[in-house]
Amino acid sequence: MTRNLQVLGFGALAIDDIIYVDRPLSAGKGKVINRTQDHGGNVATALVAVAKLGGRAGFIGWLNDQPLADVSARELERHGVDISFAPRRPDARPIRSVITVGPEGDRFIAYDDDVPHGTSEALADSTLAQAQVLLIDSYAVNADMVVARARKLGLAVVADIEWAIGPATERLVSLSNHLVLPLKFAQIYSCDTDPRLILRKLWSDDRTAVVLTDGERGSYIMQTGDDVLWHVPAYKVKAVDTTGAGDCFHGAYAFALTQGKQPVACAVYATAAAAISVTGPGGRRALPDQSACLAWMAKDNAPVPRPIAPPD
């Protein structure tokens, strides 16, 4: 069938109340210098990043059955994300988050996620088969059968997992052929600290790539058909707000996959996108377009992948 969309995703939708303070979060107390509200959520922001980069993205998670009342859905549409295939239910609503951002861009997120998660098990195969990539987050444990069907249909499943709830998360990890995980979570999940050992531990015969993201220290990659472990350094930038940087990375990585790039090249592209995203406030306001990413990648001082020594 014709692939009308390139990247589909389901996961958290959020409305973020963001507070900027004048002292590091570790100070314990500081003055509020600005307040704003933005829309967020791991997969939702990643899909907005795909659309901003020029890709065709679709959200297929739960939305409210009263479209005019669903401000998060309208915000996705405003950014060019297709929501026409999303299932509806009356109790669907976004997570509410309060994000405190320090002067160096570091942040603390407090959230209330007592909302419906996942997507409908009745989602049609024809809907999934439109796309090349499925983006999921930790909440996909509520719809792992949909993830399994996506894999059988040939979609690449890119997983952004930040917390685990036992066997359900283990199944989600096993279903995802592109694990793109924060290093801090991967360290807890694998019971190891060395990125090289973690890459090996998270590998399986069904895996295409394992990517460990570590903020300003870059990312670590293992990809299929390659005996080399790779490190992609981060760009040196003055961070205004790191909210949504990981989501941007996931969206750019997924979009690069649709362009036929190998995982290390996807990580290089995503590194540029994420670096640009932290140069402005909020999780979506500084998301880059394709031309901005390519311009950053063409700089003389742009980071290049480096092989890293295997573990002893």
Which has more confidence, 5 or 1?
Answer: 5
Q: Give the C-alpha separation, 297 to 59, whole Å.
A: 29
Global confidence as pTM: 0.92
What are the structural domain ranges in the chain? 7-11+43-99+115-308
Arithmetic mean of pLDDT over the chain: 94
What percent of the chain has pLDDT above 70? Answer: 99
Beta bridge partners of 190: none
Tell me how far apart the terminal alpha carbons of the chain are, to the nearest angstrom.
Answer: 48
**CATH of span 7-11+43-99+115-308:** 3.40.1190.20
pLDDT in tens, 233-284: 999 998 888 888 999 999 999 999 999 999 999 999 999 999 999 998 877 8
Q: How many CB atoms lie within 10 A of CB 262?
A: 17
Which has more confidence, 142 or 311?
Answer: 142
pLDDT in tens, 61-78: 999 999 777 898 999 999
pLDDT at 38 over 90: no
Burial class (CB in 10 A: 0-12, 13-18, 19+), 229: buried
- Nearest CA to 12 out of 38, 41, 40, 47 is that of 41
pLDDT band at 167 (very low <50, low <70, confident <90, very high): very high
